Amino acid sequence: MIMTHPEKSGPTASPQSAPADTPCSDAPTGAGTALKLVLRRVAIDTYRENVAYLHRDCAVYRAEGFQALSKVEVRANGKRILATLNVVDDEHIVACAELGVSEDAFDLLGVADGHPASISQAEPASSIPALHRKISGERLSQEDFRAIVHDIAEHRYSKIELTAFVVACNQNELDREEVYYLTDAMAASGRRLDWRERPVVDKHCIGGIPGNRTSMLVVPIVAAHGMLCPKTSSRAITSPAGTADTMEVLANVELPMETLGEIVREHRGCVAWGGTSHLSPADDVLISVERPLSIDSPGQMVASILSKKIAAGSTHLVLDIPVGPTAKVRSMPEAQRLRRLFEYVAGRINLTLDVVITDGRQPIGNGIGPVLEARDVMRVLENDPAAPNDLRQKALRLAGRMLEFDPDVRGGEGFAIARDILDSGRALAKMEAIIDAQGAKPFRQDQPHCGGLSFDVLAEADGVIIGIDNLQVARIARVAGAPKVQDAGVDLFHKLGERVAKGQPLFRVYAEFPSDLEFARQACARSSGYTLGTADEVPLRYVEF
Amino acid sequence: MIMTHPEKSGPTASPQSAPADTPCSDAPTGAGTALKLVLRRVAIDTYRENVAYLHRDCAVYRAEGFQALSKVEVRANGKRILATLNVVDDEHIVACAELGVSEDAFDLLGVADGHPASISQAEPASSIPALHRKISGERLSQEDFRAIVHDIAEHRYSKIELTAFVVACNQNELDREEVYYLTDAMAASGRRLDWRERPVVDKHCIGGIPGNRTSMLVVPIVAAHGMLCPKTSSRAITSPAGTADTMEVLANVELPMETLGEIVREHRGCVAWGGTSHLSPADDVLISVERPLSIDSPGQMVASILSKKIAAGSTHLVLDIPVGPTAKVRSMPEAQRLRRLFEYVAGRINLTLDVVITDGRQPIGNGIGPVLEARDVMRVLENDPAAPNDLRQKALRLAGRMLEFDPDVRGGEGFAIARDILDSGRALAKMEAIIDAQGAKPFRQDQPHCGGLSFDVLAEADGVIIGIDNLQVARIARVAGAPKVQDAGVDLFHKLGERVAKGQPLFRVYAEFPSDLEFARQACARSSGYTLGTADEVPLRYVEF
């Protein structure tokens, strides 16, 4: 029970043990009404971290006892978002009566500049106790994961809390039941597509292999066979090109959902950008801390990949796990463990899964970077003799496994069917139809417009190539400007097992800006990524590295 | 070996497997020189997180392929700092040729607005591999901790990496050797004071008990005895008042190091603000993520406290560990474990340590908030009958233990000596001398200027007080405005074991702003923090809660 003192003009009739020497007057409540501010978009891109900006002399800031980095709740027009507070000392950024918000936060609120808005201390997200239990190493329940993922998708976690969740899940490896809970919670956090037929097939690679653009071959092959394959791909996050970046060289990849639906109904396939933020919004938020930490634990990988497949309406998935000394997975036992975890979770969420363990010892294809990879893909589709054979073979193998999801295809026949579709030109025709449907872009694969600058990296001695470091080659391509600069990247002239002579070019680096070229040159000077040796030192496929 | 192509005008003489259809020209290096920008202070307080702001159309931003939230290195005048990148779309915040930095970052660079500056992708901090090993649960070496703490103190860790470190250390509890490594590394990361005599005594409480202002009593008692007690205290972080906030009601606490040295030489003691950022810079940075996560693991607590004591030149420390159902430490076994960890690490760093486990069942004293706590302290020093006895007794007990660090004081005699010093008025005289030396502020403890607004919280029934929630009482005082509003806070009228009648005031809340008063009222409505029951339900001291 709480009582306010009645108005008084003289000394207080103090309660028994209250000191008589602290006369204090009262005041009517008045709070709440005084807290209105005017919303202002502060044109700062904080990459998915909502930031609110208050002037240090703002009455609300002083009254509420906020501190910089406090978590605050911003309300406008019935919407509420959580944000981190930055304190501003410049009226040009925000004035005293304004409540500034960063670009993403402004978009989330969805009202105009100048709209009335209010700000208050944020209550901690309701799942924070569960987060603390995970930090102390406890096993969480399905309800805990649902609550945490819901709060994450609603942007109720600060970057610090997100990191704590990612690290706590990474360290105390989640058990497989918990990985299922996490996957399920992530799939439930966003929209879910329903294609109203089965099977809906997809393929996915866990990543880490430069040039590995099999999706752009698999989709037209499988769609030409008549299977439904609505491929939504990602853009590069830490790699020099994602499938969406490469497809974008050839066609428009950012399509409204309805257009995409029409294309898929007519052509049985597409290669579009996933717009993952709608399908798995929590994943999108988690990536913002996983990426800078380079954390990619098995549990989080499984949950991230499978939740998006389920949300995208896939019923059947071929999963590519490359193994190699510089791949994400470096040994067969590790690949088998990961396979079993994928299979367990897929089983729980009713996704038919076929895992293919592939050769991840080196990049696939020759080009690395959007334009160079698009060139390789088109060469394979056109049955060009210059087409990289490793890319062709891998795509056929994966497409074959997908075709075997068709109940009318006998086990073992998929590869031959895929090869017939490719060799006959039906895959190329399907790809051209999809490109036209998505909106073709001018691209001459026989003469892509490469970055205006280049240099070659040469063999330092005679020898056989016994190692190509996926990570270093990707880093060089990225520093050279890929994927932001579409035609920047690396073009490999030689692969594992080939003999080269001293001074012979190993690969060429393309860039558009002199500074990028210089950074790439420095990166190559630290390490070209190539190791030379003798023929017997070439690592075998599928061995312990 | 790296070679640039010679200038060419015709088709390239391509190396054997290079495609002949990608003619690419070369360009001179030119990088580096093109990257100069003009430094601009962006008046945004990001609370110790360095942020760099680049306009989206800035040539450097485009050329370097930065992404928002990239870690970048900003260089100006030979100094280099790491920062997180925010991308700006408003020339009023930063223009295309400018490199904006947040306030803290600008101060770290220490140059004027308009100074030439450059920015580049930051190399990861060299201790990141050690961080990743800790994330995967490995034990780290002394060199690892030194490298990590050095990078943290140098602001080379992003907020995400800091959180990962804190969570990884929290979860996989550090073993005691690792806690020593962390303590040692943190003490080594900053300045170290040398008072050129022994003993240099200090006392410290692990915190969590509102009103627990014993330092302001212990220092004058011990200094009056002639022991050197240069007390550097903290400001409140999550509590309603720290010792520095309370002392600041009476005297200036922000003093230059030399002035402080003179005061200590003349008066044998002081109560000043620690300026901890110089003594343990890494701790200061770690707090920026520990605070919002409410993480306070034993290892990090020990390292944080002891590293600062060592850096401040203390040779002898009395450590207060309060135990109670709403204290940081909630059981005797937990207190004993923590004591042993403190003792182990203190032994390794040659700090003489005496741990005192105290009653943490409820707040100490009556007032909570800077002015109200200063009132209680002065009443004890003045031997005022209204002085809270619990505060007096606890201060005497701690001061007695410190006095026993004096080789001339027999074990068990410290308490009586402390009481004589307090009762005789020598402690008050010493405190007045210290206040005058630090710069007295006007304060009449018989009539402190309390927040202009107040309300009382009343007993809801007849009964005996069987619980006072330290956390809730602190929260109420904080929401009411403490410590930012010096005279805001809570004044307790009754403590554990006292009988109250329905409608009798339990405590009074003081605030200055109507909105604060309203928030405090809402907090009290959720819970007053008081529990009523019967006399036999009052928790005993030192029992399992």
In this structure, the answer to whether residues B226 and B311 fall within a common structural domain is yes
Question: Which residue reads 């450059």 in tokens?
Answer: B118
In this structure, the answer to whether residues A319 and A371 fall within a common structural domain is yes
In this structure, the answer to whether residues B219 and B352 fall within a common structural domain is yes
- Report the pLDDT averaged over residues A71-83: 87
Please report, for residues A32, A70, A98, A108, A116, the alpha-carbon distance to residue A78 in angstroms, rounded to integers and kept in the order given.
15, 22, 18, 12, 11
CA B71 – CA A47 distance, rounded (Å): 13
Is A332 among the domain residues? yes
In this structure, the answer to whether residues B369 and B466 fall within a common structural domain is no
- Report the pLDDT averaged over residues A38-51: 88
Please report the pLDDT score of residue B29 as a whole number: 33
Residues 200 to 229 of B: which have CB under 8 A from any A CB?
Answer: none
**Could you read off the pLDDT of A472-506 as tens digits, one per residue?**
999 999 999 999 899 999 999 999 999 999 999 99
Would the pLDDT of A34 be above 90?
Answer: no
Q: Between A238 and B397, where is the model more confident?
A: B397
- Report the pLDDT averaged over residues A96-114: 91
ipTM exceeding 0.85?
Answer: no
Active-site position among B194, B296, B487, B536: B296
CA B405 – CA B306 distance, rounded (Å): 18
**Cα of B379 to nearest chain A Cα, Å:** 12
Would the pLDDT of A315 be above 70?
Answer: yes
In this structure, the answer to whether residues A228 and A372 fall within a common structural domain is yes
Please report, for residues B108, B394, B477, B489, B509, the alpha-carbon distance to residue B492 in angstroms, rounded to integers and kept in the order given.
43, 18, 11, 10, 9
Would the pLDDT of A464 be above 50?
Answer: yes
In order, the DSSP letters of B108-166 are HHT--TT-EEEEEEPPPPTTHHHHHHHHTTPPPPHHHHHHHHHHHHTT-S-HHHHHHHH
Q: What percentage of chain A reaches a pLDDT higher than 70?
A: 89
CB atoms within 10 A of CB A325: 15
Domain count, chain A: 3
Please report, for residues B198, B228, B347, the alpha-carbon distance to residue B313 in angstroms, rounded to integers and kept in the order given.
10, 11, 15
Contact across the interface for A521 and B90, Cβ inside 8 Å? no
**Cα of A172 to nearest chain B Cα, Å:** 8
Identity of the residue in A45, A86, A493 whose CB atom sits nearest the CB atom of B89? A45
Is A443 among the domain residues? no
Contact across the interface for B1 and A458, Cβ inside 8 Å? yes
Contact across the interface for B163 and A167, Cβ inside 8 Å? yes
In this structure, the answer to whether residues A209 and A326 fall within a common structural domain is yes
3-state helix, strand, coil in chain A (%, to 5): 40, 20, 40
Give the range of the structural domain holding residue A491, as residue numbers without chain letter: 453-537
Contact with chain B for residue A22, Cβ under 8 A? yes
Query: Among A390, A439, A511, which Cα is nearest to A253's?
Result: A439
Burial (CB count <10 Å: 0-12, 13-18, 19+), residue B461: exposed
Please report the pLDDT score of residue A69 as a whole number: 60
Is A345 among the domain residues? yes
Which of A20-34, A44-58, A266-280, A318-332 holds the top average pLDDT?
Answer: A318-332
Contact with chain B for residue A454, Cβ under 8 A? yes
Q: Judge contact between B526 and B475, C-beta under 8 A.
A: no
CA A403 – CA A416 distance, rounded (Å): 10
Would the pLDDT of A26 be above 70?
Answer: no
CA A372 – CA A492 distance, rounded (Å): 10
Q: Which residue, of A386, A406, A438, is where some domain finishes?
A: A438
Question: How does residue A370 score in pLDDT terms, banded at 50, 70 and 90?
Answer: very high
What CATH number is given to the structural domain containing A98?
A: 2.40.40.20
In this structure, the answer to whether residues A463 and A427 fall within a common structural domain is no
Residues 267 to 286 of B: which have CB under 8 A from any A CB?
Answer: none
Residue numbers of chain B with a pLDDT score lower than 50:
1-34
In this structure, the answer to whether residues B263 and B215 fall within a common structural domain is yes
Please report the pLDDT score of residue A249 as a whole number: 95
What CATH number is given to the structural domain containing B363?
A: 3.40.1030.10
**Cα of B162 to nearest chain A Cα, Å:** 9
Please report the pLDDT score of residue B227 as a whole number: 97
Contact across the interface for B453 and A26, Cβ inside 8 Å? yes
Contact with chain A for residue B409, Cβ under 8 A? no
In this structure, the answer to whether residues A425 and A501 fall within a common structural domain is no
Query: Among B164, B141, B152, which Cα is nearest to A297's?
Result: B164
Would the pLDDT of A349 be above 50?
Answer: yes
Please report the pLDDT score of residue A284 as a whole number: 79
In this structure, the answer to whether residues A416 and A462 fall within a common structural domain is no
Contact with chain A for residue B27, Cβ under 8 A? yes
CA A432 – CA A429 distance, rounded (Å): 5
Q: Between B296 and A408, where is the model more confident?
A: A408
Q: Judge contact between B453 and A7, C-beta under 8 A.
A: no
- How many beta-carbon contacts under 8 Å exist across A and B? 307
Please report the pLDDT score of residue B524 as a whole number: 96
Please report the pLDDT score of residue B353 as a whole number: 97
Q: Which of A157, A160, A492, A528 to mutate to test the interface with B (most CBs of B within 10 A)?
A: A160
Contact with chain B for residue A527, Cβ under 8 A? no
Contacts of A4 in chain B (CB under 8 A): 455, 521
Contact across the interface for A460 and B1, Cβ inside 8 Å? yes
Token code pair at residue B35: 């990257």
Residue of A nearest to B486 (CA): A65
Residue of A nearest to B138 (CA): A171
Is A11 among the domain residues? no
Is A172 among the domain residues? no
Please report the pLDDT score of residue A50 as a whole number: 86
CA B166 – CA B159 distance, rounded (Å): 10
Contacts of A149 (CB under 8 A, 6+ apart): A182, A185, A186, A188, A189, A282
Is B28 among the domain residues? no
What CATH number is given to the structural domain containing B525?
A: 3.90.1170.30
Is B6 among the domain residues? no
Question: How does residue A526 score in pLDDT terms, banded at 50, 70 and 90?
Answer: very high
- Report the pLDDT averaged over residues A411-436: 97
Catalytic residue annotation of A? 296
Contact across the interface for A30 and B491, Cβ inside 8 Å? no
Contact with chain A for residue B370, Cβ under 8 A? no
Q: Which residue, of A383, A412, A438, is where some domain finishes?
A: A438
In this structure, the answer to whether residues A403 and A499 fall within a common structural domain is no
In this structure, the answer to whether residues A313 and A426 fall within a common structural domain is yes
Q: Which of A4, A42, A45 to mutate to test the interface with B (most CBs of B within 10 A)?
A: A45
Q: Which residue, of B68, B86, B121, is where some domain finishes?
A: B121
Contacts of A453 in chain B (CB under 8 A): 24-27
Please report the pLDDT score of residue A275 as a whole number: 64
Is B132 among the domain residues? no
Q: Between A371 and B57, where is the model more confident?
A: A371
Residues 62 to 121 of B: which have CB under 8 A from any A CB?
Answer: 62-65, 67-69, 71, 86-90, 92-93, 103, 121
